[in-house]
Amino acid sequence: METFVWAAAAAALFTAIMTRAGALPADFVKSLGQRTIGRSTVVVCRLMLPLSH
C-alpha cells in the first residue's frame, strides 16, 4: 500500500512538472496572432482526441 502512495505521488509530481513545461513557451511570447492561436488549437486537439478515447 505504501509503495502505491509513493508511486501515485511521483506520478502527480511528474504530471505537474510536465504541465508547466508545456506552458513555458507562453512565457516568452508577448502576443500571438489569431491565426497562430487557431493553428495551435488544431494541433493540440489532434493530439488529445485520440488519447481521450
pTM, 2 dp:
0.52
Residue type, 6: W
Question: 25-47 pLDDT, tens per residue?
Answer: 877 887 888 998 899 889 989 98
Nearest residue to 25 (alpha-carbon basis) of 1, 52, 43, 7: 43
The pLDDT assigned to 7 comes to 93
Percentage with pLDDT > 70 across the chain: 96
pLDDT for residue 1? 67
**Closest by Cα among 14, 40, 38, 12 to 25:** 40
Which DSSP symbol is given to 30? Answer: S
How confident is the model at residue 10, as a pLDDT? Answer: 94
pLDDT for the residue numbered 26: 76
Domain residue limits at 25: 2-51
The long-range contacts involving 4-8, CB below 8 angstroms and separated by at least 24 positions, are none
- Number of compact structural domains in the chain: 1
